[in-house]
A and B are shown apart, each in its own frame.
Chain A
Amino acid sequence: MAQLLEVFNSGVPITWYLLLSAVLFALGVAGFVMRRNIITVFMCIELMLNAVNLSFVAFANQHRQVSGHIFTFFVMVVAAAEAAVGLAIILTVFKNRETLNIDEIDSLKN
Chain B
Amino acid sequence: MQNLWIIPALPFIGFLINGIFGRKLPKALINLIAVLSVVLSFAWVLKVYMTAGDVGANPVNEHYFTWIKSGEFSVGWDFAVDKLTMIMLFVVTGIGSLIHIYATGYMAHEEGYYRFFAYLNLFMFFMLNLVLAANYLVLFVGWEGVGLCSYLLIGFYFVKKSATDAGNKAFIVNRIGDFGFSLAMFLIVVNFGTLSFDRVFAAAPGKPVEILTAIALLLLLGATGKSAQIPLYVWLPDAMEGPTPVSALIHAATMVTAGVYMCTRSAAIFTHAPIAMETVALIGLATAVFAATIGLLQNDIKKVFAYSTVSQLGYMFLGVGVGAFSAGIWHLVTHAFFKALLFLGAGSVIHACHGEQDMRHMGGLKKYAPWTCLVLACASLAISGFPFTSGYFSKDAILGAAYAHAPWMYWVGVVTAGMTAFYVWRAFWMTFWGEYKGHGHPHESPWSMLGPLVVLAFLSLAGGFLFNVPEILNSMFPVAEGAENYTLTGISVVFGLVGIGLSYYMYVVNPALPESLATSFSGLYKLIYNKYFVDEVYDATVVNPMITGSRTVLWHGADQGLIDGIVNGVGTESRDIGGILRRLQSGNIRSYATWVVLGSVALLIVMGAAGVTGGLGR
Contacts and interface: CB of A to CB of B under 8 A. Distances in A.
Given A103-B588, A106-B588, A33 B583 contact: no
Interface in A59-88: none
B616 to A, nearest CB: 10
B590 A34 contact: yes
B594 interface: yes
Interface in A2-55: 29, 32-34, 36, 41
A108 B587 contact: yes
B582 interface: yes
Interface residues of B, number: 11
A33 B588 contact: no
B589 A105 contact: yes
Contact of A106 (B582, B583, B586, B594): B586
Contact of B593 (A33, A106, A109): A33
Contacts of A91: none
Interface in B565-618: 582-583, 585-590, 593-594, 597
A102 interface: yes
A105 B586 CA distance: 11
B586 A109 contact: yes
Nearest to A106: B587
A29 B585 CA distance: 21
A96 interface: no
A109 B585 contact: yes
Contact of B587 (A29, A34, A107): A107
Contacts of A102: 589-590
Nearest to A44: B593
Contacts of B587: 106-110
A108 B594 CA distance: 17
Nearest to A29: B597
Nearest to A103: B588
Q: Most chain-A CB neighbours within 10 Å: which of B585, B588, B589?
A: B589
A38 to B, nearest CB: 9
Interface residues of A, number: 14
Contact of A108 (B583, B585, B590, B593): B585
A105 B590 CA distance: 11
A66 B598 CA distance: 32
B593 A32 contact: yes
Nearest to B600: A29
Given A102-B590, A105-B589, A106-B588, A33 B582 contact: no
A45 to B, nearest CB: 10
B161 to A, nearest CB: 55
A34 B594 CA distance: 9
A61 B588 CA distance: 40
A109 B586 CA distance: 5
Contacts of B590: 33-34, 36, 102-103
A22 B586 CA distance: 30
A102 B583 CA distance: 19
A92 B491 CA distance: 111
Contacts of B593: 32-33
Nearest to A102: B589
A110 B588 contact: no
A29 B597 CA distance: 8
Nearest to B616: A59
Nearest to B589: A102
A106 B582 CA distance: 14
A32 B592 CA distance: 11
Contacts of A103: 588-590
Contacts of B582: 110
- In order of increasing CB-CB distance, the 4 nearest A-B pairs are A109-B587, A106-B587, A33-B593, A102-B589
Interface of A: 29, 32-34, 36, 41, 102-103, 105-110
Given A105-B589, A109-B588, 16 more contacts: A29-B597, A32-B593, A33-B590, A33-B594, A33-B597, A34-B590, A36-B590, A102-B590, A103-B589, A103-B590, A106-B588, A107-B587, A109-B586, A110-B583, A110-B586, A110-B587
18 contacts: A29-B597, A32-B593, A33-B590, A33-B594, A33-B597, A34-B590, A102-B589, A102-B590, A105-B589, A106-B586, A106-B589, A107-B587, A108-B585, A109-B586, A109-B587, A110-B583, A110-B585, A110-B587
